[in-house]
C-alpha cells in the first residue's frame, strides 16, 4: 500500500502506535480474583470481610492484578467463574446445589481457591450443617467443626512445610494476628492429599482466655493453614477479628491484616496461585 505521507510523520505514527500497545499491555491485569462473601453472621466475621475487601483491593493495585468482590452467590456459575483465575470464600460457602456443582467443576478444571476461617465451618445440627461431603471431607478434608478457643488471641504459628514458594521465606515460627482458632473432626496428618503448612506451636499454650474452660487449649496439635495437593487451593483458619462484645459497642479490638508476616504469607500465596497454569497444585 502506497502513501504520500512524509517518512518522518509515518515514523511518529508508528512510534505512537507502539506506545499505545505497550501501555495497553502494561495496564492489563496479570490475573483476576473474586471474593465471595455474606457478611451477615457475627460482627467479628463482618469486620473481617470489610477489612479483607479493602486490603485485597489495595494489594491488587500494588501488584497489578484485578480484584472484584460480590455477595451475590448466584454468580457462582460457570460463565461468571470463567473470568477469574482465583476465587476466595471470605466468610462462608455456597448452599445451593447448583452453586456447589459450579464451584466443584471450577476447581476440578484447574481453578484456584483460598478460603478463610468460617468458610470451612460445618456443624450438624446448626444453621450451617455438614451436608456437602465433597467440600468438607474431600476438598478441605477437615470434616465438621468440633470446638474453638475464646476469646480471640494471637498464637505462635509454626511453619510445617517450607517447600512452597509462599512458605519458603517465612521464619520457622511467627506470631499471628488475634483470631478464634478452630478444631476439626478429622486428623489432617492422616490424609495423604493434605499438606499442612502452618500449625499452632506448643509455645502458644495455654491458648484462649475463656471464660469457659473448654475454650482454653492447653495441649494438642492444631493445623491452621493447609493445601490439598489434588487442587490449587489454600485454606487459612484466620478471619475473625476481636470485637468488644462485652460492652456492646461492637468496637474492633484487633485487625487481621495488621500482621505483616501473616499478610505476606497470604499475598505470596495469592500471587503464586494467580500466576499458575491450569492444573493441580504442585510444589
* Cβ neighbours for 66, distance < 8 A, ≥ 6 positions apart: 29, 31, 32, 33, 60
Rounded to whole angstroms, the Cα distance separating 159 from 175 reads: 11
- pTM flag (> 0.75): yes
At residue 117, does pLDDT exceed 90?
yes
Residue appearing with cell numbers 492489563: 28
205 lies in some domain: yes
Q: Which domain does 105 fall in, by range?
A: 30-275
Count of structural domains within the chain = 1
Model confidence at 43, in pLDDT bands (50, 70, 90)? very high
Count Cβ atoms within 10 A of the Cβ of residue 183 and give its class: 0-12 exposed, 13-18 middle, 19 or more buried.
middle
> Looking at residue 246, what is its pLDDT?
87
Structural domain contains residue 11 = no
Q: At 217, give phi and psi (nearest 5°).
A: -95, 135
Could you tell me the pLDDT band of residue 25, with boundaries at 50, 70 and 90?
Answer: very low
Q: What does the pLDDT look like over 244-261, one tens digit per residue?
A: 988 989 999 999 999 999
Domain at 210, CATH number: 3.40.50.880
Residue 15 within a domain: no
241 near 44, Cβ under 8 Å? yes
Confirm whether 22 is domain-assigned. Answer: no
Within-domain flag for 25: no
| Residue reference for cell 451477615 | 40
Per-residue pLDDT band at 277 (split at 50, 70, 90): confident
Please state the rounded mean pLDDT for residues 8-25. 48
152 located within any domain: yes
Cα–Cα distances in angstroms (integers) from residue 39 to residues 23, 50, 72, 105, 224, in the given order: 37, 8, 11, 25, 22
Q: How confident is the model at residue 26 (pLDDT cuts 50, 70, 90)?
A: low
In this predicted model, what pLDDT tens digit does every residue of 214-234 receive, in sequence order?
A: 999 999 999 999 999 999 999
61-84 pLDDT tens trace = 999 999 999 999 999 999 999 999
Q: Is residue 24 part of a domain?
A: no
Q: 23 lies in a domain?
A: no
Quick: pLDDT tens for 122-162: 999 999 999 999 999 999 999 999 999 999 999 999 999 99
At 8 the pLDDT is 57
The pLDDT assigned to 24 comes to 42
Amino acid at each position: 500500500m502506497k502513501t504520500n505521507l512524509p517518512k518522518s510523520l509515518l515514523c511518529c505514527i508508528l512510534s505512537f502506535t507502539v506506545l499505545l500497545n505497550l501501555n495497553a499491555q502494561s495496564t492489563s491485569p496479570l490475573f483476576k480474583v473474586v471474593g465471595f462473601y455474606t457478611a451477615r453472621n457475627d460482627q467479628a466475621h463482618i469486620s473481617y470481610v470489610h477489612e479483607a475487601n479493602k486490603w485485597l483491593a489495595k494489594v491488587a493495585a500494588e501488584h497489578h492484578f484485578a480484584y472484584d468482590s460480590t455477595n451475590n452467590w448466584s454468580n457462582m456459575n460457570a460463565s461468571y467463574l470463567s473470568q477469574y483465575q482465583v476465587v476466595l470464600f471470605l466468610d462462608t460457602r455456597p448452599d445451593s446445589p447448583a452453586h456447589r456443582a459450579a464451584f466443584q467443576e471450577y476447581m476440578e478444571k484447574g481453578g484456584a481457591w483460598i478460603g478463610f476461617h468460617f468458610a470451612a465451618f460445618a456443624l450438624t445440627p446448626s444453621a450451617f450443617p455438614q451436608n456437602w461431603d465433597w467440600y468438607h471431607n474431600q476438598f478441605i478434608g477437615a470434616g465438621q467443626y468440633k470446638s474453638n478457643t475464646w476469646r480471640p488471641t494471637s498464637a505462635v504459628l509454626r511453619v510445617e512445610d517450607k517447600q512452597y514458594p509462599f512458605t519458603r521465606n517465612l521464619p520457622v515460627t511467627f506470631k499471628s494476628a488475634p483470631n478464634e482458632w478452630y478444631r476439626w473432626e478429622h486428623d489432617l496428618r492422616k490424609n495423604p492429599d493434605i499438606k499442612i503448612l502452618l500449625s499452632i506451636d506448643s509455645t502458644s499454650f495455654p491458648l484462649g482466655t475463656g471464660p469457659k474452660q473448654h475454650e482454653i487449649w492447653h495441649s494438642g496439635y492444631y493445623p491452621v493453614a493447609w493445601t490439598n495437593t489434588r487442587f490449587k487451593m489454600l485454606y487459612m483458619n484466620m478471619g475473625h477479628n476481636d470485637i468488644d462484645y462485652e460492652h456492646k459497642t461492637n468496637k474492633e479490638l484487633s485487625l487481621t491484616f495488621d500482621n505483616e508476616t501473616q499478610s505476606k504469607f497470604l499475598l505470596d500465596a495469592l500471587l503464586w496461585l494467580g500466576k499458575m497454569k491450569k492444573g493441580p497444585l504442585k510444589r
